[in-house]
Structure 1
């Protein structure tokens, strides 16, 4: 049986073929069980592989950084950075949604249970990643801000509007950045260090969301960022960072854990406001009633 020579894979599909060849012993590459398992995990999570540091990945997979380096060299790469570039190159190509859909071509009968279990796992992982310091910092930023603006693009635009609407029930000075149609730069120009910008985004990251975070940092506007990994391009510009998993069979980013975290933060903020929150909510309700917002 012919063996595949030890040459570095040029892209992720080719790397996956190499993995299959190793499994069926058609490759001259020999990996231990732990290294082979890590390689599969990397190939199945290209976003994490691309945006996490070697130390973060080593911690995640329970191996040493030197193990990852040896894995890369055994695959024919000059080092781990060269292997990581395969995942970064893959993510730069516009096929995120179709690949997610391709990966979820399982039996339909069990999908409800499967997706529910995946979301429960995401929620549990999210909970394990939120620290008391993060929690308190987010609440203090919300409480001290003169104005609050939320921002996201594409799928997470709905998350930004959800957060803005619910927060706007509790306090004044809340809105979605650029929602007037005047543009993001116009909206940012009206904010300063007394305000707060909240940005939502996961892979594939929107360029304007990344640029928005960087510009806010340059203007000393405090930011809370909700994203998927510490390696996300907007994470380094956050005053307060929450990383939330998006794993699952859904063809786009799974967001149940995001909604749970947002609801928990807003509930905690309402309780921190105490009687003032009740007074504000009652005022909103009177306006809704006067304008007959609810159907009857």
Structure 2
């Protein structure tokens, strides 16, 4: 019988103590030899447990992928993602995420065949994109498109590599409708940038593990002041998902030494295309006006 969910360990140290209790039969949780071996391996290598997908872990440890889901549930977690969060926290909120990713890349690298590596990367990205599309709830997608189309103001916020996604979305959406911009925190600070927004305006935030603390804090404060949040993130356990009206979960496991952006960019393009369709002639007129301005500027230069 599994222990209650609320009693499931929230640290790797707690998992170690639980494993000792299981082996000494001091708890009513029973695990087979294969599950005990897997749990031991994960505890001994929290970096691998934190950054690898179920399929990668199953290949590395030589067990069926379903073993990890069953193990998580037996230990009292609602699913593998909640179980994996324990190991992610062990990495001090991702302090070693990028070097761990690069280490995995180096182990797999074959310097004599870089094209094969490119092929594997392409296949992984294709799988990420397919999985992302399957996870999109049509009603949530429509609701988000409606907000992006009709809200009085829209700001888009992302840091580090997600800053490029924020700039791309702000540029694309700004081609279609007025009062769209990246949340400009670099010049005046986040507080002043948020002060430009009012209740029912929209803030799109993007981040995934290792989550950028400032992006999380910005989303939390904005939500408290009635600003509607759309989150582009990696899972339902993401701290951004907890404050967002609408969340989209984007797989991003790949050979890349950081978080993969391919599926995120496709989702952004899909949302922008849907907004263009929703606005109809309004978006066409906005694009024509932009084209006219470009022509005038080209003539004058």
Q: Same fold (TM over 0.5)?
A: yes
Match of 2:272 among 259, 263, 266: 266
Matched, 1:213 2:219: yes
Residue 68 of structure 1 deviates from its aligned partner by 2.4
Q: Does the Cα contact within 8 Å between 1:42 and 1:48 map onto a contact in 2?
A: no
The within-5 A match list for 1:12-31 is: 31=33
In structure 2, how many angstroms separate the alpha carbons of the residues matched to 1:275 and 1:43? 51
Normalised TM-score (structure 1): 0.75
Which ranges of structure 2 fall in alignment gaps of 5 or more residues?
A: 1-10, 17-30, 54-64, 77-81
Q: Does the Cα contact within 8 Å between 1:200 and 1:226 map onto a contact in 2?
A: yes
Residue 38 of structure 1 deviates from its aligned partner by 11
Which ranges of structure 1 fall in alignment gaps of 5 or more residues?
A: 1-7, 15-28, 50-60, 73-80
Q: Does the Cα contact within 8 Å between 2:35 and 2:71 map onto a contact in 1?
A: no
Q: Does the Cα contact within 8 Å between 1:150 and 1:164 map onto a contact in 2?
A: yes
In structure 2, how many angstroms separate the alpha carbons of the residues matched to 1:9 and 1:239? 32
Match of 1:198 among 204, 211, 216: 204
In structure 1, how many angstroms separate the alpha carbons of the residues matched to 2:140 and 2:52? 22
Change (3 A) 1:124 1:166: same
Residue 235 of structure 1 deviates from its aligned partner by 1.1
Matched, 1:46 2:47: no
Normalised TM-score (structure 2): 0.74
Match of 1:107 among 93, 106, 110: 110
2:38 alignment partner in structure 1: 36
**Number of residue pairs matched?**
255
Match of 1:153 among 152, 159, 162: 159
Q: Does the Cα contact within 8 Å between 2:233 and 2:248 map onto a contact in 1?
A: yes
Match of 1:139 among 124, 145, 158: 145
The within-5 A match list for 1:111-122 is: 111-122=117-128
Change (3 A) 1:62 1:272: same
Q: Does the Cα contact within 8 Å between 2:51 and 2:101 map onto a contact in 1?
A: no
Change (3 A) 1:62 1:83: closer
* Structure 1 vs Structure 2 CA RMSD: 3.5
Matched, 1:249 2:250: no
Residue 42 of structure 1 deviates from its aligned partner by 8.2
Q: Does the Cα contact within 8 Å between 1:48 and 1:229 map onto a contact in 2?
A: no
Change (3 A) 1:9 1:129: closer
Residue 292 of structure 1 deviates from its aligned partner by 2.1
In structure 2, how many angstroms separate the alpha carbons of the residues matched to 1:104 and 1:143? 41
In structure 2, how many angstroms separate the alpha carbons of the residues matched to 1:167 and 1:187? 18
In structure 2, how many angstroms separate the alpha carbons of the residues matched to 1:140 and 1:236? 21
How big is each residue's C-alpha offset from its partner over 1:112-138, in whole Å with a ceiling of 9 and x where there is no partner?
101100100000110110011111111
Change (3 A) 1:200 1:290: same
2:297 alignment partner in structure 1: 291
How big is each residue's C-alpha offset from its partner over 1:123-176, in whole Å with a ceiling of 9 and x where there is no partner?
011011001111111111112200100001111001000000000000110011
